[in-house]
Chain A
Amino acid sequence: MNVLRLIDRVFPPQTVFAHCDVPCGIYDPHLAQVAAHTVLRMANMIDEFQTSSAEPPFEERKRIISQISRLTKVKEEHAELVKHEIRVIWGDYFKDEHLKQHKAIHQLVFKIMKQASVARQNVDIKAANELLTMVQQFAEIFWETKGRKIQKVKSGYPTEGVIVVPK
């Protein structure tokens, strides 16, 4: 099989998609936005943690460690969910005609992948905010390709901010 891998280096194989659509045609960047809001919320909650003293009692430490572990887990999962959702829409929905209109989409997706990793690896509110902004830009482009005007509605989440939706 190593011979085939060598051949692949010279003549790369085609990509084959395994996504669910045959084709379902149902794509929506809403879940990516919700996930990005969740990453921001988790970063905020971890950042807001305070202890009763510089050297808190053991029981309090246990409680804090447990809560931060849970928040971190959710942050990591939702950063990964952002990447998955964006990747699927980019890979499965976007066609050549969309790319002609929106030449920056590849670069934007690349930046979202990197930014989601930064937001996942760190407790960085600024990075999480930047990720959310990028995902919203992606949502705007997505709805433009469908000929829909967009509006930014208040999310109603603790993160405040908006969600990009079609009018």
Chain B
Amino acid sequence: MKVPFSRFVVFDRSMEPAFLEGDHVVTFNWTEPHTGDAVVFRSNGKNLIKRIATIKSGKIYVKGDNRKFSLKIGPVKSDQIVGKVIAKY
């Protein structure tokens, strides 16, 4: 079972203005993420933070808030999701 809460520090600017570089966030994974939620997920051994654009056929499509730095939208499987961002501190 996954740990329900995790803490992260944001690196890079693709989620500005919601999440600035250096922001600390807490994620929670005992709820289903929905469209519009910011989530942390694992990809190629790295943690990434993005916002859910849409969910279709079990595939979660995510994108960055800051389109200047974030252009890609890609599908993520639900088991890659570490958790939904519930707080910034």
Contacts and interface: CB of A to CB of B under 8 A. Distances in A.
Q: Do A and B come from one complex?
A: yes
B6 interface: yes
B34 interface: no
Given A4-B7, A13-B8, A18 B87 contact: no
Given A5-B89, A8-B24, A88-B12, A17 B46 contact: yes
A19 interface: yes
B48 A22 contact: yes
Q: What secondary structure prevails in chain B residues at the interface with A? A: strand
A24 B64 CA distance: 13
Interface string A14-44: 1111111111100000000000000000000
Contacts of B7: 4, 7-8, 13-14
Given A1-B87, A20-B71, A15 B47 contact: yes
Interface string A78-111: 0000000001100110010000000000000000
Nearest to A13: B7
Contact of A15 (B8, B14, B72): B8
For the side of the interface on B, what is the size category?
35 or more
A13 B9 contact: yes
Interface of A: 1, 4-5, 7-8, 12-24, 87-88, 91-92, 95
Interface of B: 6-15, 19, 21, 24-26, 40, 43-50, 62, 64, 66, 69-74, 76, 87, 89
26 contacts: A4-B7, A4-B26, A4-B89, A5-B89, A8-B9, A13-B7, A13-B8, A14-B6, A14-B7, A15-B8, A16-B8, A16-B25, A16-B49, A17-B11, A18-B11, A18-B12, A18-B49, A18-B70, A20-B14, A20-B69, A20-B70, A20-B72, A21-B72, A22-B74, A23-B44, A91-B12
Given A19-B14, A23-B44, A95-B45, 18 more contacts: A5-B24, A14-B7, A15-B8, A15-B9, A15-B47, A16-B25, A16-B47, A16-B49, A17-B48, A18-B13, A18-B19, A18-B50, A20-B69, A22-B73, A22-B74, A87-B12, A88-B12, A91-B11
